[in-house]
Structure 1
Amino acid sequence: MKLKVFYIVVCFSLNYSFSQESYNLKKIDSLKQFILNIQDSTLVGKTNYTIAEYYRKATPLTDSAFYYYHKAEKIFKKLNSKYELALTLYGIAVIQKNEKDFIGSEVSSVEALSLLEPLGETNEIIGSKAFIYNNLGIVFKELEQYDESVKYHTKALKLKERLKGDNKETINISKNNIGNTYKNAKQYGLAIEYYNQILGDEDFIKKNQSMYALVLDNYAHTLYLSNKHKQLPDLYFKALRISDSIEFKGYNSIIINQHIAEYYNDKGNKDLAKYYAYVAKNISEKYHNDDLLKSLLLLSKIEEGDMAAKHLKAYIHLSDSLQKNERTIRNKFARIRFETSQIEQENLQIAKERLWLLVISIVIIIASFLLYLVINQRNKNKELQFIQQQQETNEEIYNLMLSQNEKVEEARTLEKKRISEELHDGVLGRLFGTRLSLDSLNMSSTMEAIKTREQYIIELKTIEEDIRKVSHELNTDFVSGSGFIDIIRTLVETQSTVYNLIYTLEHDDLINWDEVSNKKKIHIYRIIQESLHNIYKHAQATKVSISFKLKNNVIWLTLIDNGAGFDVSKAKSGIGLKNMNSRIKEISGEINITSEKDTGTTVTIQVPLT
């Protein structure tokens, strides 16, 4: 919405600039930048058209105007915007007419009319048709097909008379054009008739002094051509005074000065003829166009001798230059059309390539995504399989521990039975026998009885020692929590035998393994198993030392080998160490590994007791 408001504001200011005939290239640059920032094709087309109109009406940059008209034409054709396309073709037709490409101008004009024909009879369309017919009238006058020129100018006039509002100026322009055509066709009476229609409208000529001077000069020149010199040269000078009063030595005064020079030359007044001819030449040199060409030709007729030859030579040189310039411009127009078409083809090719690139990119992205999903799914499956295997292994270990505990319990039961039998059959029987023997000696006080009692007392001490021994054995077997340690010992013995290792296993009796969760026991078991496997696989060790200690309610597990050692920083990514770290993390523990080359490795693990 903001972009459209910007477009309207700039176009309004440009239209104002046209009426003031001022250059406003900053606004044009804004519109060019505006085109780059919009996606609306209609707005892009209208912006190109506005830029072209500015270049045509307010600057001499004809090729720039044609370029932007052509860009607008391509867009409006794609959008099938007939009215906008017709206006664009009219702009192109005017440029072609000004550059003397009369056939091209005729074709563009006829094409514009064919687009407007089915669009109805609105005021805008009627006005557009009138301008196009007017352009065709000028084209055919330049081609010296005066009947066709009058026909088209008459059509333009009739359409202008149908327009709403005050259209006197544009109506009188058509009448002047018809008068000029009749004048060139040497039908002077008809020409004068149309000029008089304009000159007779006093209100109009008061408001439009510039056109008054132009029509008055045309009227005077027609009188001159028809040999009616009574009002001459007064009418010429009147037209010149009006022209000079509104524009200092302006463009319109060139033609008037040429007509005055022509008049005085015909009357034989060479000095005045030369004066006005040179005035016309000096003004027309600013424009370097057909008016300068006419001035040089006129001077070649007025002057004599070398000066006449000089002006004639300048005339021929300028004529050739203008013709070459016209051909160059026409070729440039053709090149603009060709290059625009070529650019469009290249853009289509680039668009196709971009489309293919986009399709290929999307296919690659989708394929990569699918490949990622497949690989990720495989990794997840492997991870799930690993977790499942871990669970199965943990279950096996747990079952092994349960089985071991059952064996320990069975051993304990047997041991209890053995101790019970030992106490019952051994200690208890001996106590009973000693008690009976002492009872039989209670009534005797002989030396022999005293010695016998002393022996029985010694026997009681021996029995006391036996009881203490049994008590100690009970304390050793059942208080130390040797069940889990027995499982670890079995693991270490089995692995050491397979791996040809000499081992030592130390454990702190203060550790109550019954308080340790099965999860921690399983992970400790697996860590020891993984460590022994790593020692065998990588360390090439012959000895391993394993110890359990309790410090501040934390179990310290230490494994020391005399292997080759390794670089701990490089080995952190190994699967074995990853597994160990993962297990330590699950039981909220810590692991520390130190190793030296050719010395060995020490693994220290800290696990909270509870």
Structure 2
Amino acid sequence: MIICSCQKRTQCNIKDQNNKAKFDKLIVQAHLYSKKTINSDSAFYFFNEAKLLCNPKSDTENYIRILNSMASLQLSHGDYIGSETTLTEAMPYLKYIKKPLLVWDTYMTLGSNYFNTFDFKNALLYYNKALNLKINESKQFSTKTKIGNVLAEEKKYLEALNVFLSLADEIGVLKTSEEYAYLLNNIGFCYFKLDNPEGLTYINEALKIRTNLKNHTGIALSNLTLARYYDENNNSSAAKKFGLIAYSNLNDLQNIEDKQSALKLLIKNSNEDELKKYSMQYIDLIEHLFQIRQEAKNQFARIKYNSKREKEENLKLKTHKSENDLKLEKQKNKNIVSYIIIILSLFLVIILYFYLTSKANKEKIEAAYNSETRISKKLHDELANDIYHTMAFAENKNLSLEENKEQLLNNLDVIYSRTRDISKENYVITTDENYISSLKEMIYGLSTSNISIILNGLDIISWNEINKNKKITVYRVIQELLVNMRKYSDASVVGIDFKIVNKNLHVNYTDNGKGIDTDKMVFKNGLYNVKNRIQKIKGQIEISSAINQGFKVFFKFPL
């Protein structure tokens, strides 16, 4: 829907008719490639080229429409962080848009990015923003459905049920449609989660409608819901039966994420021989999913990087051309030397300005690209080790034993969640009025049943008066310290104290872990990042520790 809207033959406010024709051609090419299941990176490339021809201030609607399409492509390939980054370019211009559908597209894509990265709070925020726009009934239905899905994922099943029931009443005469079947399936899911026996009736009714419609995707999802129902009701044979049906249908549809859910149910409800088979298929599926998503992320990033670099090189060529024109002018006008000197000076200033600006931008682009490559390598290295050990476990252990089966399921969950955790470490940090909530959420998210984290003074700091970059530094430094604590220290209690002294923010971090020998301490990896971040904001840091005496870090910086 988002991509198709970009095909509209809107007028681009570009004076050069050659650019206007080029813009229209790029949009047509992007639209053609976006319809294909392969070569989606070509669609992204043409959208990106068209974006460079648009002035966001004078041609805002086309600019937003293109960014929505690019972000939608990234979302469909699992590049959730990249999709959100693309939409941040659109956010400053949404207030100038008169067509609510464009803003709705932006909010819905943002909500989906947050939903798929398990940030349900922000997903609900943007879905509600989308719902508050002046949109038609079809868009309202889609938005409310998304809100119901978020509530269900948050295990607020009663609230989700009320949303789906109200939507089912609105459908009216369309009670044979896929939309109605989708709602019935979700209603049944919420009912059985609430221990209401009506759940099975709704799920079966949804399956019946989808079977009549010959909707193979819907049939697969209904069978998957039935498998979950019987699994939670301890009917292993029925759970396995419907899980196999769902998995078979999903195999034909190449629906990777739902195949993963079906395999997980089959692993839980299978005997030893089948358990090994499904476990290996699960691991292969995760590796494949990671690979195709990472390839898409890298390709999208490479297109942006190369496009910006080409633009900078063209700018340099134009600058050199201006310099050559100046030399020719000087030869033709030897009798007005003074004017030539003035003009030459002005051009030299312009050249220097563009050179320095271009150099700085290139360094930023290369740094961003290198950062994405580093994150990709980190994901691969850490996942490879977990996958190797899990495969060895599945091959060598007796999986008919309940404890081995449970251990295998736990290992598989760790492999799948590891990619989400690393992505979260590199996610965009909120620095507005929600900063303190975001900081607390990160801190308490790193606590466990064995680790207690005590905060003191955090709420009395006037964070809104502190520079954005310094707030990001505080967030990242504390995150780095807590991650290191969980990996190495075996601490059970962590204390973090915040206070302002003489217009400086003081932060004290302590834990009761096993500590380190500071005389032999080398600043690398996490600790190097901590020290480097503090120094960049003109701060000071002190680290004190000893073996079996805990770990302490004090840092301060001027406000």
Which TM-score applies when normalising by structure 1? Answer: 0.48
**Against the structure 1 CA distance between its residues 51 and 197, is the aligned structure 2 distance closer, same or farther, given a 3 Å change threshold?**
farther
Specify the structure having the higher radius of gyration (Cα).
Answer: 1
**Against the structure 1 CA distance between its residues 297 and 202, is the aligned structure 2 distance closer, same or farther, given a 3 Å change threshold?**
same
**Against the structure 1 CA distance between its residues 358 and 127, is the aligned structure 2 distance closer, same or farther, given a 3 Å change threshold?**
same
Match of 2:190 in 1: 222
Shift, 1:242, TM fit: 1.8
1:86 counterpart = 2:59: no
Match of 2:153 in 1: 184
| Structure 1: distance between partners of 2:21 and 2:214 | 38
Q: Deviations over 1:244-299 (max 9, x none)?
A: 333442x2332221111122233344443223212221222232521222222221
1:171 counterpart = 2:140: yes
Q: Which amino acid aligns with 2:264?
A: L
Q: Where in structure 2 are there 5+ consecutive unaligned residues? A: 10-15, 332-559
Spell out the pairing of 1:461-540 with structure 2 (5 A cutoff).
none
SS at 2:199 equivalent = coil
| Structure 2: distance between partners of 1:168 and 1:78 | 30
**Against the structure 1 CA distance between its residues 191 and 82, is the aligned structure 2 distance closer, same or farther, given a 3 Å change threshold?**
same
Q: Is the 8 A contact 2:82 2:297 kept in 1?
A: no
| Structure 1: distance between partners of 2:215 and 2:171 | 24
Q: Is the 8 A contact 1:42 1:76 kept in 2?
A: no
SS at 1:133 equivalent = helix
| Structure 2: distance between partners of 1:43 and 1:204 | 46
Spell out the pairing of 1:123-522 with structure 2 (5 A cutoff).
125-159=99-133, 162-163=134-135, 167-203=136-172, 205-206=174-175, 209-228=177-196, 230-249=197-216, 251-285=217-251, 286-348=253-315
Shift, 1:116, TM fit: 2.2
* Backbone CA RMSD of aligned residues: 3.4
Match of 1:6 in 2: none
Match of 1:554 in 2: none
| Structure 1: distance between partners of 2:151 and 2:78 | 21
Shift, 1:347, TM fit: 4.3
Match of 1:387 in 2: none
**Against the structure 1 CA distance between its residues 295 and 54, is the aligned structure 2 distance closer, same or farther, given a 3 Å change threshold?**
farther
Shift, 1:359, TM fit: 10
Q: Which amino acid aligns with 1:213?
A: A
**Against the structure 1 CA distance between its residues 64 and 224, is the aligned structure 2 distance closer, same or farther, given a 3 Å change threshold?**
farther
Match of 2:463 in 1: none
Shift, 1:320, TM fit: 1.9
Shift, 1:68, TM fit: 1.5
Name whichever of 72-81 and 349-358 sits farther off: 349-358
Q: Is the 8 A contact 2:187 2:199 kept in 1?
A: no
Shift, 1:145, TM fit: 2.4
Shift, 1:91, TM fit: 1.3
2:81 to 87, 96, 103: 103
| Structure 2: distance between partners of 1:15 and 1:89 | 13
| Structure 1: distance between partners of 2:87 and 2:211 | 35
SS at 1:233 equivalent = helix
**Against the structure 1 CA distance between its residues 283 and 77, is the aligned structure 2 distance closer, same or farther, given a 3 Å change threshold?**
farther
Spell out the pairing of 1:27-106 with structure 2 (5 A cutoff).
39-77=17-55, 80-106=58-84
| Structure 1: distance between partners of 2:47 and 2:291 | 23
Shift, 1:154, TM fit: 1.2
Match of 1:463 in 2: none
Q: Is the 8 A contact 1:42 1:79 kept in 2?
A: no
| Structure 1: distance between partners of 2:294 and 2:91 | 27
| Structure 2: distance between partners of 1:51 and 1:77 | 20
**Against the structure 1 CA distance between its residues 275 and 86, is the aligned structure 2 distance closer, same or farther, given a 3 Å change threshold?**
same
Q: Deviations over 1:186-236 (max 9, x none)?
A: 111110111011101243634x712111121111111122222x2232211
SS at 1:232 equivalent = helix
Shift, 1:362, TM fit: 12
**Against the structure 1 CA distance between its residues 245 and 350, is the aligned structure 2 distance closer, same or farther, given a 3 Å change threshold?**
farther
Q: Deviations over 1:282-320 (max 9, x none)?
A: 222232521222222221112121211221221122112
| Structure 2: distance between partners of 1:48 and 1:117 | 26
Q: Which protein has the bigger helix share?
A: 1
SS at 2:198 equivalent = coil
Q: Which amino acid aligns with 2:78?
A: K
Q: Is the 8 A contact 1:296 1:311 kept in 2?
A: yes
Match of 1:114 in 2: 92
| Structure 2: distance between partners of 1:98 and 1:280 | 22
| Structure 1: distance between partners of 2:323 and 2:286 | 54
| Structure 1: distance between partners of 2:114 and 2:63 | 23
Q: Deviations over 1:27-49 (max 9, x none)?
A: xxxx9xxxxxx953234224323
| Structure 1: distance between partners of 2:214 and 2:328 | 66
Q: Which amino acid aligns with 2:157?
A: Y
SS at 1:303 equivalent = coil
| Structure 2: distance between partners of 1:40 and 1:289 | 44
Match of 2:523 in 1: none
Q: Is the 8 A contact 2:56 2:63 kept in 1?
A: no
**Against the structure 1 CA distance between its residues 53 and 115, is the aligned structure 2 distance closer, same or farther, given a 3 Å change threshold?**
farther
SS at 1:144 equivalent = coil
Q: Which amino acid aligns with 2:148?
A: G
Q: Which amino acid aligns with 1:225?
A: K
Q: Is the 8 A contact 1:182 1:190 kept in 2?
A: yes
Shift, 1:73, TM fit: 1.5
**Against the structure 1 CA distance between its residues 78 and 107, is the aligned structure 2 distance closer, same or farther, given a 3 Å change threshold?**
closer
Q: Percent identity?
A: 23
Q: Which amino acid aligns with 1:41?
A: N
Q: Is the 8 A contact 2:247 2:259 kept in 1?
A: yes
Q: How many matched pairs?
A: 323
| Structure 2: distance between partners of 1:226 and 1:60 | 42
| Structure 2: distance between partners of 1:337 and 1:204 | 47
Q: Is the 8 A contact 1:263 1:273 kept in 2?
A: yes
Match of 1:501 in 2: none
Name whichever of 346-355 and 134-143 sits farther off: 346-355
Higher relative contact order (CA 8 A, sep 6+): 2
Which TM-score applies when normalising by structure 2? Answer: 0.52
**Against the structure 1 CA distance between its residues 252 and 67, is the aligned structure 2 distance closer, same or farther, given a 3 Å change threshold?**
farther
Q: Which amino acid aligns with 2:132?
A: K
| Structure 2: distance between partners of 1:330 and 1:319 | 16
Q: Which amino acid aligns with 1:112?
A: A
Match of 1:563 in 2: none
| Structure 1: distance between partners of 2:62 and 2:211 | 39
| Structure 2: distance between partners of 1:253 and 1:43 | 46
Q: Is the 8 A contact 2:83 2:113 kept in 1?
A: yes
| Structure 2: distance between partners of 1:127 and 1:303 | 48
